[in-house]
Amino acid sequence: MPKKVYIHTFGCQMNKYDSETIAGILQDYSLIDDPEKANLILINTCAVRQHAEDKVYSLVGRLSIIKKDNPDLKIGLCGCLAEQYGENLLKRFSALDMVIGPDNIYKLPGLLDELYKGRRIVLTGHPSESVRSLPTKRVDKIKAYVPIVLGCNNRCSYCVVPWTRGNIRSRTPQQILNELKNLANSGYQEVTLLGQNVNDYGCDFKDSPIAGLKSVAGLEPVAGLEPVDFCKLLIMVNELDGLKRIRFITSHPKNFKSELINTLPQLQKVCEYIHLPLQSGSNKILKLMNRGYTIEFYQQLVEDIRQKIPTVSITTDVIVGFPGEEEEDFNQTLKAVEEIRFDSAFTFKFSPRPNTPSATYPDQLSSEVKQDRLEKLIASTSRITKEKNSRLIEGIEEILVEGQNPKDTSFFMGRTRTDKIVFFKANADSLIGKMVKVKIIGCGTFSLKGELL
């Protein structure tokens, strides 16, 4: 009888991909969705804010109870929190058998025997062998995430990711293209290229800033290929047969090159969608955050992108309540979001993280001030999102149908090229995975309503 693994995933798309990899490499295990029937429970964790951390601890508490009735069950913690606290987590939670950081999951199959012998395991760090291609067992059959670059070399002063994911390591173009070809051959329609900062793709390749095929991370150079940066990689990906849509996240404003802006309109499969985190509208705060751009630079960048790609949807991340953020700074953020008019915005209260410089900056703000600013910001960004959505009413959109609306199965759900969700009435399962045209007939803040044409 195959053993059974239950995987619970928190956090970002990179974590979702890692969970699919874990499911793929645990070949002796079948993936189940009931933790009570599992031989192995893995919790893939996120450390980006305190709230993400707290959610993990409460799940560990709940799952520990299952272990009392099932002493053979093993529980492992993977992901960014595992990397951040390592052994301390084993000390803190007696129910945990294993703590394994994101760059060590490829070792997992070889560790399981040890685990079942009763050894408690901690594996953290960023070995260069982690830049590799592993089998995946994917949840979705239509769209897939594919990492192009691991880690991050930026040091935004609030961010834990460079600690948990390590320095930048780009996958080679061959690794990426092979994975994409396999996805295309298996019928996938849409891929999202992943990186903490995709614009840095290739900057770590040895011998030349973008000499993509030299000896990176111990891999042999492959003859006959040109040096590759993000723009060149996108051109190569766009030429692959089979895939219909290509997306990428996340773009850091500071090195979004004009060459990329000029190239994007020529890449037919690359969708008109750019996630471009602003973080703050105040130059004082941007500097304290170590973001490497000013609000004027950011606004000019948005203008340049919109000029070349008029139908583009631009989304963002904003943090409120960064240490030292005065009313005046916050008002500049409000002014910026009103002027820029994002298609949508993810908004966060600043959360001090271990090891990050801003956790010890003076002038930390109270949770009341943060909450108040968050609410004001959300009122503004969601009003703008809805206004932007309402402008699409009466227009025709091409959407990739992803599935039925679980809340009302007479409705199907798909996304526009600009990543907006559209619900529409239909009664044929056969639409799933197809591109269809819909007329937009209504909208809310988070979705559009369409009519199948």
By CB under 6 A, name the binding residues for ligand SF4: 152, 154-156, 159, 161-162, 196-197, 252
Residue 431 C-beta: closest distance to ligand F3S, Å? 32
Contact call for residue 74 and ligand F3S (CB under 6 A): no
User: Are the CB atoms for 18 and 139 separated by under 8 Å?
Assistant: no
Does 15 bind ligand F3S (CB under 6 A)? Our answer is yes
Check: CB of residue 435 under 8 Å from CB of residue 360: no
Count residues near ligand SAH (CB under 6 A).
17
Among 319, 426, 440, 443, binds ligand SAH (CB under 6 A): 319
322 interacts with, out of ligand F3S, ligand SF4, ligand SAH, none, CB within 5 to 8 A per kind: none
CA distances from 240 to 260, 399, 413 (A): 19, 21, 26
The CB-of-198 to ligand SF4 minimum distance in angstroms stands at: 11
14 binds, among ligand SAH, ligand F3S, ligand SF4, none (CB under 5 to 8 A by kind): ligand F3S
Interaction between residue 351 and ligand SAH (CB under 6 A) = yes
Site for ligand SAH in 178-207 (CB under 6 A): 196-197
**Whose Cβ is closer to ligand SF4: residue 85's or residue 158's?**
158
49 binds, among ligand SAH, ligand F3S, ligand SF4, none (CB under 5 to 8 A by kind): ligand SAH
Residues 159-188 that bind ligand F3S (CB under 6 A): 160-161, 164-165
CB count within 10 Å of CB 450 equals: 29
Q: C-alpha distances in angstroms, 320 versus 285, 287, 342?
A: 10, 15, 16
Instruction: Give residue 7's Cα distance to chain centre.
Output: 18
Q: Does 271 bind ligand SAH (CB under 6 A)?
A: no
Residue showing the smallest CB distance to ligand F3S in the complex = 11
Note whether 373 and 321 are within 8 A (CB).
Answer: yes
Q: 145: Cβ–Cβ under 8 A, 6 or more apart, which residues?
A: 13, 14, 16, 17, 191, 192, 194
Residue 350 interacting with ligand SAH (CB under 6 A): yes
CB of 318 to ligand SAH, least distance (A): 7
User: Phi/psi zone of residue 430: left (φ > 0), alpha (ψ -120 to 50 degrees), beta?
Assistant: alpha
**What amino acid occupies position 277?**
P
Dihedral in degrees, nearest 10, Cα atoms 419, 425, 427, 433: -10
**Cβ(192)–Cβ(145) below 8 Å:** yes
User: Closest separation between CB of residue 287 and ligand SAH, Å?
Assistant: 16
Q: List Cα–Cα distances, 242 to 6, 183, 186, 239, 265, in angstroms.
A: 32, 9, 9, 9, 20
In the complex, the residues that contact ligand SAH under the rule CB under 6 A are 48-49, 158-159, 161, 196-197, 250, 252, 277, 279, 317, 319, 348, 350-351, 353
In the complex, the residues that contact ligand F3S under the rule CB under 6 A are 11-12, 14-15, 46-48, 79-80, 160-161, 164-165
